[in-house]
């Protein structure tokens, strides 16, 4: 465990300074930066990190471009390629403004930081490479930033193709009204770029990275808040099959202790956030039964894993 923690500490180090400092920090990991459209100030920047997602990333990008009010003068799409996109390489230039190719798969959170370093908009929007946004996704999200105390907005997420597995994403739907929340949907959120740069961006390699970042942003902007926005909707599956069910169940069963060892001070923040209660979404009987069965299986898997260790 000690060797793993040391590796994670190194991977979790945050860049410092302004955007140029971030570019220098990550330069050894960047193979190339291709700008498909001239640089210009934008209203917001969309950052998509892709890895082995050739079968579905084009659909993700097409949904972003098809949004209400989307135009190249006000928005930019930044694609950070962690590898595996060669089959759709020729289709990217017409869809993205900046294409950043990494030397290898540097993992999700550092790649997101790289995207922010090259962003020009005051609002940054992180999107999972297999997420499909609603037509009014950004239009609804940006209005919340008219309140200067709002430093972030996280979306509501609904199932794309796997409604049974997605019932395990209890944090996907907080109910019908906007409410203060923590950053628990890192792949579908909007944040103020200046504050993101100020606190050093994502730090943890994986697991609770949104909560850890949310804590630092809240400390930096003491009157700030992050909102859950029910009218900002993305379609995304929490899991897309049994293979991911087993991997994700075991991963999140142990990630808590690793995150605690890396950042013990985050424990109390997560604990306080978890005490909040939100309205539960209404589900059909078949979905409720599936949720109970999947949760039981997850508990058994995690218990078995702990006993083995």
User: What secondary structure does DSSP assign to 196-261, as a single string?
Assistant: HHHHTS--SSSSSHHHHHHHHHHHHSTT-EEEEEEEEEEE--S--SHHHHHHHHHHHHHHHHHHHH
CA torsion angle for 133, 135, 137, 140 (degrees, to 10)? -170
How many Å apart are CA 266 and CA 208, to the nearest integer?
Answer: 9
Output the tens digit of pLDDT for each of the chain's 309 residues: 345 444 444 445 678 899 999 999 999 999 999 999 998 889 999 999 999 999 999 999 999 999 998 998 999 999 999 999 999 999 999 999 999 999 999 999 999 999 999 999 999 999 999 999 999 999 999 999 999 999 999 999 999 999 999 999 999 999 999 999 999 999 999 999 999 999 999 986 566 789 889 989 999 999 999 999 999 999 999 999 999 998 888 776 555 555 555 566 777 787 788 888 999 888 999 999 999 999 999 999 888 877 876
Q: In the chain, what are the domain boundaries? A: 2-308
What's the CATH fold of domain 2-308? Answer: Spore Coat Polysaccharide Biosynthesis Protein SpsA; Chain A (3.90.550)
Residue recorded with tokens 């294409």: 99
pLDDT value of position 30? 98
Nearest to 110 by CA among 15, 6, 3, 212: 15
Q: What are phi and psi of 84, to 5 degrees?
A: 85, 15
Record the pTM: 0.92
Nearest to 113 by CA among 12, 32, 182: 12
Nearest to 125 by CA among 84, 181, 67: 67
Nearest to 141 by CA among 71, 99, 84, 191: 191
């Amino acid at each position: 465990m000690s060797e793993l923690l040391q590796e994670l500490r190194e991977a979790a180090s945050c860049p410092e300074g302004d955007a140029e400092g971030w570019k220098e920090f990550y330069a050894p990991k960047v193979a190339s930066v291709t700008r498909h459209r001239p640089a210009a100030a934008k209203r917001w920047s969309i950052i998509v990190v892709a890895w082995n997602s050739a079968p579905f990333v084009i659909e993700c990008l097409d949904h972003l471009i098809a949004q209400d009010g989307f135009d190249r003068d006000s928005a930019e799409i930044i694609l950070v390629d962690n590898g595996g996109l060669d089959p759709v390489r020729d289709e990217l230039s017409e869809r993205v403004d900046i294409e950043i190719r990494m030397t290898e798969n540097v993992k999700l959170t550092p790649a997101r930081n790289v995207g922010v370093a090259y962003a020009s908009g005051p609002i940054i929007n992180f999107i999972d490479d297999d997420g499909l946004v609603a037509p009014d996704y950004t239009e609804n999200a940006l209005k919340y930033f008219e309140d200067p105390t709002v430093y972030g907005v996280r979306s509501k997420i609904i199932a794309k193709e796997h409604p049974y597995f997605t019932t395990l994403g209890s944090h996907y739907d907080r109910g019908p009204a906007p409410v203060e929340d923590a950053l628990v949907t890192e792949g579908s959120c909007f944040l103020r770029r200046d504050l993101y740069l100020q606190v050093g961006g994502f730090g943890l390699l994986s697991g609770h990275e949104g909560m850890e970042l949310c804590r630092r942003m809240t400390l930096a902007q003491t009157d700030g808040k992050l909102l859950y926005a029910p009218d900002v909707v993305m379609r995304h599956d929490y899991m897309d099959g049994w293979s991911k069910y087993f991997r994700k169940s075991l991963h999140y069963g142990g990630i808590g202790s690793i995150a605690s060892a890396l950042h013990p001070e985050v424990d109390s923040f997560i604990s306080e956030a978890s005490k909040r209660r939100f309205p539960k979404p209404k589900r059909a009987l078949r979905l409720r039964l599936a949720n109970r069965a999947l949760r039981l299986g997850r508990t058994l898997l995690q218990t078995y894993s702990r006993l083995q260790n």
